Structure formats: structure tokens, C-alpha cells
Amino acid sequence: MLNTIPSCILVQDVFCFLCMIKKKLALVLFIASQSIKMIAQSPALNDAEVWENIYLEKNITPKLVARINEEGRVTDNMAHPSFIYADVGFNYKLNKHVHLALAYVLTQKQQKNETWSTRHQAYFSVTLKKKFKNFVFDDRSMFQWQVQDVYSSPTGRYAEYYLRNKFSIKYEKFFKIQPYLAEEVYYYINQPYVYWLYDFNRVRYFAGVYYNISLINQWELYYLFENNFNQISTSQTKVAINPQNNYILGLGYSHTF
């Protein structure tokens, strides 16, 4: 006799899934409304950028993967390379629905005065996965720690803490071409030099496509709109919020050993 799944379990799964989608849409609407309010209060800057990513992965066991991700960014209307980082860490597949990640990130970012700022980051993330027919839904929650310019600036002794959430939908009917949509929001847990700021400060919207050359090689092309509606600008005399919108074209390549 074939095993069957009770209808009550299917209904419960569908209900839970719809609740998750509803909460995500509510969060996006809240962030969008806050963005509109902040932009109305202060004119936003705009920038066109190009981002590139190279992902290298090594399967250690069927569940454990070591990886390194390099990213570079060309900003100021695609005129100046001003950002590069190396992300080194591990991914662990707890089961087909729950994936974990732990990583350290070394970042170099060029400032307005053309000096380079060094940032040290570490993060831990939990990704929940669910497949429904040809669609794959990912919900990644990340806790991020960062220190800027250790012992070389007034803020170098203090850490920043972020919560980041990214929700994505990928269509996997075809092997070669896999389009996706995603959104990511940032929330300040602690900002060391602006103690009154504990709030959402950034939202990103993605539209992209993966092109699978083979089982171990993949290209990614995406467009990203980034709204920094609570972006902080600091100087020796004041702290200000200067909203900025970034319009980004991204290209990535990944290889698995």
C-alpha cells in the first residue's frame, strides 16, 4: 500500500507557508513606507555602480562546505573602484530545510577623502529552505558584527551589530537558466557613535538569473536597487543622516571543487 500524507498536515503546511509570505510582504511594505518618508524629508544622493563576485567552494563532507567569496565594487557612477572584500567561512547543511553559515570578512572601503578604511566583520546565519513545485523559497536570517579602523579612529574601539534578513524566490524548472527575485533588509542593533539610532537603515531589491554552465560552474547576472534611507555621515563636529539610492549591475561566477 502506498504511503499517503494526511490532508490535515498538507493544510497546516500550506497555512504556515502563507503566513510566512504574509509577514514578509508586511515587512517590505513597512520598509517601503519608511523609505518614502525619509526621502521626503531629505534629498537622496544617487549612484550607479557595478559589483563583481567570485565564489569558490570546496565540499569537505556531504553536509559541510568551505568557501571563499571575493567581491569588488566600482562606484561614483561606475568610475572608481572603491570597495573590495574577502569572505571566508563554512556552510553546514543541517537538513534539506535548514542551512547554517559562519564566516569572517575582511573589507577595504575607500572614503570620500580617498583614504582606505579597514573593516573586520563576522557573521552567523540560518537559512530556511522550502521547495514548492518549481519554486525554491529561501529565508536567511543573519547576525553580523563589525569593527571599523581598529585603534586608528575614534570609532575603532567599538563594534556595530546588525540583523539582516534576506528572502528570495528562485524558479528551477530548467537546469541552465534559473531566474530569481530577492529582498534584503538591515536593522541596526547597536551603532556605537549614534546611540539614538536603533532602526532599519537599508533595503535591497534584487532581480537576477543564474546560468549553470555545468554542475560545478555557474554565472550570475543581476540588477540591484539599494535604498540607504538611514545612512549615517559622520565628521568631527556632527552626525547626519544622508539618504542614498544605489542602482547596481552585478556579475558573479562560482566554482565548486
**Domains in the chain: ranges and CATH:** 7-256 (2.40.160.40)
Of 6-10, 16-20, 180-184, highest mean pLDDT:
180-184
CB atoms < 10 A from the CB of 210, how many? 19
pLDDT at 155: 62
Q: What is the pLDDT of residues 94-135, one digit of tens each?
A: 999 999 999 999 999 988 777 888 999 999 999 999 999 999
Q: What is the pLDDT of residues 150-169, one digit of tens each?
A: 766 666 677 888 999 999 99
Which set of grid coordinates corresponds to residue 160? 556595530
1, pLDDT greater than 90 = no
Q: What is the pLDDT of residues 199-236, one digit of tens each?
A: 788 999 999 999 999 999 999 999 999 998 877 665 54
139, pLDDT greater than 90 = yes
- Beta-carbon contacts of residue 31 (< 8 Å; ≥ 6 apart): 185, 200, 203
Residue entry with cell 568610475? 79
Sign of the CA dihedral 105, 141, 185, 201?
negative
Which set of grid coordinates corresponds to residue 69? 567569496
Q: Which of 119, 111, 121 is closest to 235 using CA atoms?
A: 111
138, pLDDT greater than 50 = yes
CB atoms < 10 A from the CB of 173, how many? 10
pLDDT at 149: 81
193 pLDDT band (50/70/90 cuts)? low
CB atoms < 10 A from the CB of 255, how many? 14
Which set of grid coordinates corresponds to residue 51? 559589483
Give the number of residues written for the chain. Answer: 257
| 77 Rama sector, left if φ>0, alpha if ψ -120 to 50, beta otherwise | left
Q: What is the pLDDT of residues 18-63, one digit of tens each?
A: 556 555 555 655 555 455 444 444 455 889 999 999 999 999 999 9
